[in-house]
Each structure stands twice: as C-alpha cells, then as structure tokens.
Structure 1
C-alpha cells in the first residue's frame, strides 16, 4: 500500500527517467571500474580470467616440471617419482589450489586434480589439490629431464601496485605529466578570460555588426581543428619568426587551443550572460558603474556555472590532445605530453594488458578529479545557456 502511494507521488514518467539515468551512469562506470581493477591485477590473472572475477579469485594456467628420472624409486613392478609441483627447484608453479592438470599446453584442464590419470605408455600421474604428485611408470623412465605438466591453479584475490610503479618510473613519464599540466591549465584559462569579455560585449553592449559577429561565432564552432592545423602552424611560424618566438614553444599550443575553444565558449557564455536579470545590469549603470565594473562585480560571479561547464570541456580536450601537442611542441622526450609519452610506452609494451590499463587510468585520473570537482555546475550551466537568449 505504501509502495503504491509512493509510486503515485513520484509519478511513473519521472520514475522511468530516474531509472534511465541510473542505467546510463552504471553503463558509463563499468568500463572505468574494469580499467581500474585490471590495472591492479597481476599479468597471469589478467590472461586467465576477466576483471569481474578479481574479488573472488581466479583460475590461473601455469606450468611445472616434475622430478628428474634419477630421483625415481622402484615400488614393486613400477618406478615412481613424487614431490610437489610448487617446488621451485623443479620449475614449480605459483602456489595455490590445483583444480586440474594436463600434459599438453592446449589442454591444461584435461584431468581433474586428485584423480589418477592414464597419460599413455604405461604412465600414470596423480596431482592433488595441495600440489603433491605421484608419477609412476611400469618401466624405467627414459627421459633425461623431468616431465612438464600444465596446471589450472585457483588463486586467491590479490592486487598489486607494481603496474603503476612500472608506468610511473618509466623514463619521461614524470616530465610528460608536468608538460600536460603546463599545456592544459593555460589553454583552459586563456579562452575563458577572452570569451567572457566577448560574451558580455555581445550580450549587453550595443554596436554595429553585433548580429553578424554572433553568426560568425556560431559558424566557427563547426570548423574542425584538423582541417586548419597546417595553415595555422605555417602562419604561427611566420609570425613567430618575425617576433623572435621559438617555433616549438608552449605559446603556440596555448594560442591554438584557445582559438579553437573560444567559439564554443563565447556561444555558451553569451547565451548565459544574456539571460541574466536585466534590472540588475540597468541598476548598476544608473548607479554610475562602468561596463568593466559591471562585468567584474556582477556578471562574472553570476556566470560561474557557465564558466565551470566550459572549463570541464576545454580541460578534457586539451588534456587528452595528442595531435596538436606533437605539431606545436614536437616529439622529443622533454617535449612530449602525457598522451604522447604513454603512447610511446605502449608501443614497447603493447602486449601487456596490465601496463595498458595502468597507463589508461593514469591518463584519466586528472580529468575525473576535475569533472567531479565541477560537475554540480555542469548541467546547470549548459541548460541555462541553452534555454536563455537575448
């Protein structure tokens, strides 16, 4: 009865919306959780089982070598070798509970642990869960070395930070992290400052051609950076040569990111600022405040949600950028940003999933912190900028 009353109070359409949003959030979080868990696992467990088994343990395939024929003892008509597959002196496997074993790499779970297995040629092998084994033959052993067996071993849940140590201690990663911050922070602040002034002018200052400028700004949003990257670089080199600015410097990448971020910033901020209460602006003008004073004391504090919304997008774009950074900074060890350094690292360790996932999580950890720090302003700023206009 109470559930029915609560359902009517919430409303079925609203409940469906809430459940849909919850489902979308879960679907977005699952890959991130998978990357984090995989980055903390050992290589053997990653290769043998999925990340969702990390907390319950996993079956890991391993190999071990039995005792040498010289250690065999005669037991009636049979010759017997015994020991433990976990004995390191015999190329032992990693310790755990043996679930199954086999004599072929393609079939490591052919026989169940604890049960005698007929492996042909009069040979019988029994491997118990604790790793002890009995290997017998109805004739003397002819092999020069101990027989190799393959094991399916249940490993308890375990995690390690070695993957992150490998990535963080690799040559150039620390400098690349600093380079990424040096690029992303100014490339986020510069377009916000310029766009805020422009958005105020396009919202509350009347001058000829204002409508044309607004239309041009909207049109520039659809221009892809890649299409104009080469002309932009050529122009920058010519201007830099004239003013004595180095062709490979942070100034170039700051200006490139700022130029391509400003159209969207001006569009969002202009719509938001134009929707601010007109009475507040006019009252300030009546009291003798200048446009600069109105902008600094009234508009900027009220526009913080819109500023935070754009800051998230701009920081994510600049932090994850690789192309612009390689073009304007170069590919030297002291010039690479984090995405470039990790890309080079993955080129040498591309088959190691533990390194791949640890590198990926290091790349996304800073954007995640920025997003959660400003996320409460994100939706408010975007919605306000999309429904208000002037």
Structure 2
C-alpha cells in the first residue's frame, strides 16, 4: 500500500514540510524589515512590526518640552503638541518612576509656581511666573494610543540625505559600479576557459583542471594582502580596476569549474558535426556552446552578483574607505555606529541593500535551477 501510485511517501512529505518551514523562516524577518522601513522611529520603539496595522496603546518614549515662550499678563507660557500623529493620551507623568501619574487634562505642579497640563490629544501648556530662558524644561512620559502610520520619509532620507558623511544613494551607485563588471568579467573569461577545458585537447589539460579544483579551497583572506601588494607594485593600487580584478580572480575557479562541468555534458554530436561543416572553434563557442550554456552562465551570474553585492572585506581592502568610495555594506556599518538608535533609518537602508539581490534572484531563479540540475538526468 505504501507504493500505490499517486501517494506521496513519508520522505516526500518531510522534504515539503522542511522547505515550507525554511521559506517561512526566511520570509518573516524580510517582511518585518519591509514593514519597519515604512514606520516612524517612535512606532518602532513602542510596538512590534506585526502590530503596525492596528492602533496600539503603549508607553511612548519620553518627550522633552520644547516651543516658543509667550507671556499672558505676568505668566510665561510655552504651548505646543507632543505628537506629530493623531495619538490619544490615556495617562501621563513627569517622572520615570510614575509615568502614568496624571490623567488627560489634569495639571501637574512642577514647583516654584510652575505647572504643566497635557490634554487627551497631546497638546500641552507649560506655565510659570518666571521666564523659562536658560531653564531645563521637563520631560513628559505618556501612555497613548497611536493609529497606524506609514511614511516614505525614511527612504527619502536614506537615498538623498547625507548621513555619516555620505548618502546611501552614492553608496548604492558605487556598489553597482563594483558588482556589474565584477560579475560580467569572470563570466566572459570563465566561459572561454571552460570551453577549452571541456572540448579542446592540449597538453596539461588534466593538470590544469586539477589546479582549478584545488584553488576552490584556498581561503580568500589568505590572498588579500599579497594581491594588494601586487596591485601596488604594478601601479594599479586601490580603485575600481583593482577590485574588479580581485573579484575576477576570486570568482574564476568556481566559474570555470561550474561552466566546464556543464559544457562537458552537452551533446558531443552537435560539436563534431559543426567541425565537420567547417566551423571554427570560436564559431562553435559563440553560436552553439554559449546559447546552450545560458542556464549555467545565469547560475554563476547569480552567485557572483550576490557575492560582490554583499561583500565588505574585499571592498575595504581594494577600494578604500573614503566617502566617495564606500559600498553599501560599508555605509551600513557606519550607520550602525553613528545612528544605532535610528531603527527606521537602519531598516530602510537594509531593505535598499537587499532589494537588488532579491530582484536578481527571483528574476533568474528558473535559470539557477536548470543550471544546477543540468546533467543530473539522462
């Protein structure tokens, strides 16, 4: 009964369930990051992203009284509003020990004849018989119900406003400048090398293939400093050319290995017939091998682009740390240091950094699967 056609085995159900769990575990934090990137900092501090679509009543971050001072007879007054949103105050206080000591519209005695009143809509009136000039104004602790609020100001600030000495928009362009050539160059070089290793006979081919396989296990960190010294010796130094060549060198072993294994599985009769018809090796490569190898080329392009886009170490070594040279990962590290409490800025910056890799992956995933599974079924 276990082998009846149309029934799934226990292993198939386990695999499907595992894939579903992995997908959910991957989607949940991504969705949280996306929702948080459209929320204000106060809302992120007061409630979780899963509560973003409902009105939430919670204790808000303390707010320092600010505003222009006016006079009403002999009384000095500062009036204003605690919130920029339509929050509704249910309780408030002037001390962290008693953040809900007063109800809306009640008046708190601050001593010395000064008093503070906070209304239900968040408006306040601070009055005193003496001027507030040079005085430290009180903080207000509130418990308020805040309606859902979403804004694109986070993305506007992230992309166009200079932060930590540089706007992330410039870092975005720098990352594109690094990633696109660092993906295209290895593909071009590796495609020629893979065709030669797969379909051309020459002395030392087996040794060369073994060397390439061996290079797959060489740690990247081991070659960074010697390669930088080589660049400085021959006059390349730090810059885009240096990082393009570095990523090309680090990515070529995997590219050649992947493409060679794919090309070796292509039908031999097609290539032999082309040679009989008088086609040159270059014509065979361009008109036959490349079109048939597109899934493998796309697979490597995805891996290489994601690697170069998310890279930080190679960019720091071969590109530099200047404001006009930073890539997205370096810019995000600076934001973590200089704006570690601005979660709305960090979430918007992080989502900008992952948006392009997500777009590349989902647009080319069908080629990734075909490239990885090529040759597994005869």
Q: TM-score, normalised by structure 1?
A: 0.78
Residue in 2 that maps onto 1:361: 351
Contact 1:44-1:60 within 8 A present in 2 as well:
no
- Call closer, same or farther: CA 1:149–1:295 in 2, change over 3 Å: closer
Instruction: Using the TM superposition, give the Cα deviation of residue 9 of structure 1 relative to its aligned residue in structure 2, in angstroms.
Output: 4.2
User: Following the alignment from structure 1 to structure 2, what is the Cα–Cα distance between the partners of residues 247 and 126?
Assistant: 64
Equivalent position SS for 1:223: coil
Instruction: Kindly provide the CA deviation profile for residues 172-207 of structure 1, in whole angstroms up to 9, marking residues without a partner as x.
Output: 433322221111111101111111111111111122
Instruction: Kindly provide the CA deviation profile for residues 130-184 of structure 1, in whole angstroms up to 9, marking residues without a partner as x.
Output: 6699xxxxxxx99999986522111111111111122112134333222211111
Equivalent position SS for 1:206: coil
Q: Of 277, 284, 289, which residue of structure 2 is paired with 1:294?
A: 284
Instruction: Using the TM superposition, give the Cα deviation of residue 361 of structure 1 relative to its aligned residue in structure 2, in angstroms.
Output: 1.0
Q: Of 356, 362, 367, which residue of structure 2 is paired with 1:372?
A: 362
**Are residue 98 (structure 1) and residue 89 (structure 2) matched?**
yes
Residue in 1 that maps onto 2:49: 51
Instruction: Using the TM superposition, give the Cα deviation of residue 90 of structure 1 relative to its aligned residue in structure 2, in angstroms.
Output: 5.3
Residue in 2 that maps onto 1:166: 157
User: Following the alignment from structure 2 to structure 1, what is the Cα–Cα distance between the partners of residues 149 and 202?
Assistant: 67
- Call closer, same or farther: CA 1:191–1:151 in 2, change over 3 Å: same
- Call closer, same or farther: CA 1:185–1:126 in 2, change over 3 Å: closer
Instruction: Using the TM superposition, give the Cα deviation of residue 33 of structure 1 relative to its aligned residue in structure 2, in angstroms.
Output: 1.2
**Are residue 208 (structure 1) and residue 199 (structure 2) matched?**
no
Q: Give the structure with the larger helix fraction.
A: 1
User: Following the alignment from structure 2 to structure 1, what is the Cα–Cα distance between the partners of residues 258 and 98?
Assistant: 61
User: Following the alignment from structure 2 to structure 1, what is the Cα–Cα distance between the partners of residues 123 and 262?
Assistant: 73
Contact 1:172-1:334 within 8 A present in 2 as well:
no
Q: What are the ranges of 5 or more consecutive residues in structure 1 without an aligned counterpart?
A: 1-5, 72-86, 120-124, 134-140, 241-245
Q: Of 211, 222, 243, which residue of structure 2 is paired with 1:253?
A: 243
Equivalent position SS for 1:89: strand
**Are residue 179 (structure 1) and residue 177 (structure 2) matched?**
no
Q: Of 194, 199, 210, which residue of structure 2 is paired with 1:199?
A: 194
Instruction: Using the TM superposition, give the Cα deviation of residue 110 of structure 1 relative to its aligned residue in structure 2, in angstroms.
Output: 6.8
User: Following the alignment from structure 1 to structure 2, what is the Cα–Cα distance between the partners of residues 189 and 36?
Assistant: 30
Tell me which moved more, 169-178 or 301-310: 169-178
- Call closer, same or farther: CA 1:328–1:64 in 2, change over 3 Å: closer
Matched residues, number: 347
Instruction: Using the TM superposition, give the Cα deviation of residue 335 of structure 1 relative to its aligned residue in structure 2, in angstroms.
Output: 2.0
User: Following the alignment from structure 1 to structure 2, what is the Cα–Cα distance between the partners of residues 195 and 295?
Assistant: 12
Q: Of 332, 356, 359, which residue of structure 2 is paired with 1:342?
A: 332
Q: TM-score, normalised by structure 2?
A: 0.80
Tell me which moved more, 87-96 or 344-353: 87-96
Residue in 2 that maps onto 1:29: 27
Instruction: Kindly provide the CA deviation profile for residues 40-82 of structure 1, in whole angstroms up to 9, marking residues without a partner as x.
Output: 11111111111111111333515587xxxx99xxxxxxxxxxx
Larger Rg: 1
The 5 A counterparts of 1:1-390 are 9-58=7-56, 59-61=58-60, 63=63, 89=79, 92-93=82-83, 95-102=86-93, 104-108=95-99, 150-169=141-160, 170=162, 171-240=166-235, 246-384=236-374, 387=376
Equivalent position SS for 2:286: helix
User: Following the alignment from structure 2 to structure 1, what is the Cα–Cα distance between the partners of residues 118 and 309?
Assistant: 53
- Call closer, same or farther: CA 1:40–1:376 in 2, change over 3 Å: same
Contact 1:98-1:130 within 8 A present in 2 as well:
yes
Q: What are the ranges of 5 or more consecutive residues in structure 2 without an aligned counterpart?
A: 66-70, 110-115
RMSD of aligned alpha carbons: 3.5
Instruction: Using the TM superposition, give the Cα deviation of residue 225 of structure 1 relative to its aligned residue in structure 2, in angstroms.
Output: 1.6
